[in-house]
Chains A and B, each alone.
Chain A
Amino acid sequence: MIGGPRHLRLPGLRARVTLAFGLVAGAIAVVVAVSVWFLVTGLVTDRRERVTLAQATDNAERVDSALSAVALTPDDLVRSLGNATGSISLVWYERAWHSGDPTVGGEDLPTAVRNGMLRGDVVQRQARLDGTLRLVVGVPLPSVDGAYAEIFPLDDMERTFRTLSTTLVAVGVVAPGLGLLLGMWASRRALRPLREVTAAAGAVAAGDLSVRLAMTDDPDLAPIAASFNRTTAALQHRVQSDLRFASNVSHELRTPVTTLLNTVQHLRHRRAQLDVSGREALDLLADEVERFERLVDDLLEISRTEGGDGHLVLVDTNAAELTRRCLPEEVQHLIEVDPAASALVVRVDRRRLERTLANLVQNAERHGGRLVRVAVRAEPGPLVRIAVEDDGPGVPAALRTQVFERFARGDGQRETTEGVGLGLALAAQHIRLHRGRIWVEDRQGGGARFVVELPARSAP
Chain B
Amino acid sequence: MLIEDDAHVRGALRLALADEGWLVDEAGDGERGLALLERPGDYDVILLDLRLPGMDGFEVCRRIRRTSDVPVVIVTALQDSHDVVAGLEAGADDYISKPLSAKVLLARLRALLRRAAARDGSSTRPIVHDGLQIDPDAAVVLRDGRPVSLTRTELRLLVELARAAGGVLSREQLLERVWGYDYFGDSRLVDVHIRRLRAKVEVEPASPRHVITVRGMGYRFGS
Contacts and interface: CB of A to CB of B under 8 A. Distances in A.
Contacts of B184: 325-326, 350-351, 354
Contacts of A311: 80
A304 B13 contact: no
Given A265-B19, A304-B78, A325 B101 contact: no
A262 B6 CA distance: 14
Contacts of B80: 304, 309, 311
A266 interface: yes
Interface string B57-100: 00000000000000000000111110000000000000000111
A147 B100 CA distance: 132
Contact of A258 (B9, B103, B172, B188): B9
Nearest to B13: A262
A351 B9 CA distance: 26
A98 B178 CA distance: 135
Nearest to A266: B15
A265 B102 contact: yes
B124 interface: no
Contacts of A257: 98-99
Contact of A255 (B9, B186, B188): B9
A254 B16 contact: no
Contacts of A263: 12, 15-16
A262 B17 CA distance: 9
Contacts of A251: 77-78
B8 interface: yes
Contacts of B13: 258, 262
Interface residues of B, number: 27
A207 interface: no
A261 interface: yes
B98 A313 contact: no
Contacts of B188: 313
A43 interface: no
Contacts of A259: 6, 8-9, 11-12
A259 B182 CA distance: 27
A315 interface: yes
Contact of B187 (A254, A265, A313): A313
Contact of A254 (B11, B19, B77, B81): B77
A293 interface: yes
Given A256-B8, A269-B19, A304-B78, A262 B101 contact: yes
A311 to B, nearest CB: 6
Contacts of B182: 325
B170 to A, nearest CB: 10
B98 A258 contact: yes
B99 A261 contact: yes
Interface string B18-52: 01000000000000000000000000000000000
A218 to B, nearest CB: 43
Contacts of A296: 99
- Which 3 A-B pairs have CB atoms at the shortest separation, nearest pair first? A262-B12, A257-B99, A262-B16
28 contacts: A251-B78, A255-B9, A255-B98, A257-B98, A258-B9, A258-B13, A258-B99, A259-B11, A261-B12, A261-B100, A261-B101, A261-B102, A262-B101, A262-B102, A263-B16, A265-B101, A265-B102, A265-B103, A266-B12, A266-B19, A296-B99, A304-B80, A309-B80, A311-B80, A315-B187, A350-B183, A351-B184, A354-B184
Interface of B: 6, 8-9, 11-13, 15-16, 19, 77-81, 98-103, 172, 182-184, 186-188
Interface of A: 251, 254-263, 265-266, 269, 293, 296-297, 300, 304, 309, 311, 313, 315, 325-326, 350-351, 354
Given A265-B102, A313-B187, A313-B188, 10 more contacts: A258-B13, A258-B98, A258-B100, A259-B6, A261-B101, A262-B13, A266-B15, A266-B16, A296-B99, A297-B99
